[in-house]
């Protein structure tokens, strides 16, 4: 059984630990880490058949086969390279961290040199299978429009920098329009899906992003539009947000668990 370490014990980390603990995934949780001890303790408390240690990511890197990052872009920047250098696989949820081309290239080369894998779940969006296949030929445009309720965008660095007060927004309002590269920096906890789409398609600079703050909805809605040699694709997903963290959709946690199932299964389905 593979040994996993989980960095980040918030909504997604908790769901992953619960799925492994229930036996739905054949893996052992070796260790968990969160810089909030309270969050790590809350995970330990809800596990019935696993007894992971609370340990540093450095210890996980020495002891685990796979590290799952479900914490923040900072955690990816800090731990992804050391894990790859040690031949340890990593699943990354805070995908926006990969927008720096130098970091991405170094990570890719380091993982290749040390036979480690980087797994990026489809997260809170759908359509990555079709997009990846379409990207084998020429793509002319890829765009993502994200609509979130006010609570799903609170605290974003871009809104703070631009002096946009979400409390003033009474109707659906376009708060950002630009590249995915800019979006994942300005909204690091809100649009990692745009990073995943960029990596599947035409990259961070060419992927167009619009973010709409919408006080009339309760779902996190992502609309993906792609055109290219294959034809045209349009996908809309209306995600239920996590009750624990309204910025993140429930599907993001399910996608991480599904990726873990794929990693641990001899049968690989889909692109």
Ligand X SMILES: O=C([O-])CC(=O)C(=O)O
Ligand Y SMILES: NC(=O)C1=CN([C@@H]2O[C@H](COP(=O)(O)OP(=O)(O)OC[C@H]3O[C@@H](n4cnc5c(N)ncnc54)[C@H](O)[C@@H]3O)[C@@H](O)[C@H]2O)C=CC1
Q: Residues within the annotated binding site for NAD(+)?
A: 124, 192
Alpha helices, DSSP H only, in 168-242? 180-186, 192-200, 203-206
Alpha helices, DSSP H only, in the chain? 11-21, 37-46, 57-63, 73-85, 101-113, 128-134, 157-162, 180-186, 192-200, 203-206, 250-263
Give min distance, CB of 194 to ligand Y, in A: 9
Q: Is residue 187 within the footprint of ligand Y (CB under 6 A)? A: no
Q: Is residue 159 within the footprint of ligand X (CB under 6 A)? A: no
Binding ligand X by CB under 6 A: which of 73, 128, 143, 249?
A: 249
Q: Is residue 123 within the footprint of ligand Y (CB under 6 A)? A: yes
Distances 25 to 55, 243, 255 between C-alpha atoms, Å: 22, 24, 13
Q: Is residue 17 within the footprint of ligand Y (CB under 6 A)? A: no
Give min distance, CB of 266 to ligand Y, in A: 26
Nearer to ligand Y, 228 or 246 (CB): 246
Q: How far apart are CA 152 and CA 163, in angstroms?
A: 17
Binding ligand X by CB under 6 A: which of 190, 207, 255, 259?
A: 190
HSE-CB at 140 with a 13 A cutoff on CA atoms is 7
- Neighbouring residues of 85: CB distance < 8 A, sequence distance ≥ 6: 110, 114
Nearer to ligand X, 27 or 147 (CB): 147
Q: Which stretch binds ligand X (CB under 6 A): 53-61, 82-90, 168-176, 190-198?
A: 190-198
Catalytic annotation present for 222: yes
Q: Is residue 146 within the footprint of ligand Y (CB under 6 A)? A: no
43 with 9: CB under 8 angstroms?
A: yes
Give min distance, CB of 137 to ligand Y, in A: 25
- Neighbouring residues of 236: CB distance < 8 A, sequence distance ≥ 6: 221, 222, 223, 224
| Window 202-231: contact mask with ligand X (x via CB under 6 A) | ------------------x-----------
Q: Is residue 227 within the footprint of ligand Y (CB under 6 A)? A: no
Q: How far apart are CA 203 and CA 233, in angstroms?
A: 17
Q: How far apart are CA 120 and CA 196, in angstroms?
A: 7
Q: Which residues bind ligand Y (CB under 6 A)?
A: 7-13, 33-36, 39, 70-72, 74-75, 93-95, 123-124, 189, 192-193, 196, 244-245, 248, 252
């Amino acid at each position: 059984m593979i040994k996993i370490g989980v960095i980040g014990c918030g909504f997604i980390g908790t769901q992953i630990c619960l799925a492994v603990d229930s036996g739905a995934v054949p893996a052992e949780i070796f260790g968990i880490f969160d810089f909030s001890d309270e969050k790590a303790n809350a995970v330990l408390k809800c596990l019935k058949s696993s007894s992971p240690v609370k340990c540093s990511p450095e210890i996980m890197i020495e002891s685990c086969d796979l590290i799952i990052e479900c914490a923040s872009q900072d955690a990816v920047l800090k731990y992804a390279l050391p894990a790859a250098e040690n031949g340890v696989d990593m699943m990354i949820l805070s995908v926006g961290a990969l927008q720096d081309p130098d970091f991405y290239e170094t990570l890719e080369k380091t993982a290749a040199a040390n036979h480690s894998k980087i797994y990026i779940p489809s997260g809170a969006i759908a359509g990555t299978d079709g997009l990846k296949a379409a990207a084998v030929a020429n793509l002319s445009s890829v765009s993502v429009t994200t609509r979130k309720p006010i609570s799903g965008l609170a605290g974003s660095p871009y809104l703070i920098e631009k002096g946009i007060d979400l409390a003033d927004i009474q109707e659906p309002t376009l708060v950002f329009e630009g590249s995915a590269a800019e979006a994942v920096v300005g909204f690091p906890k809100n649009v990692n899906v745009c990073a995943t789409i960029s990596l599947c398609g035409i990259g961070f600079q060419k992927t167009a992003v619009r973010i709409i703050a919408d006080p009339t909805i309760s779902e996190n809605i992502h609309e993906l539009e792609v055109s290219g040699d294959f034809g045209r694709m349009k996908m809309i997903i209306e995600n239920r947000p996590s009750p624990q963290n309204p910025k993140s959709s429930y599907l993001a946690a399910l996608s991480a668990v599904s990726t873990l199932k794929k990693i641990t299964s001899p049968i690989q389905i889909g692109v």
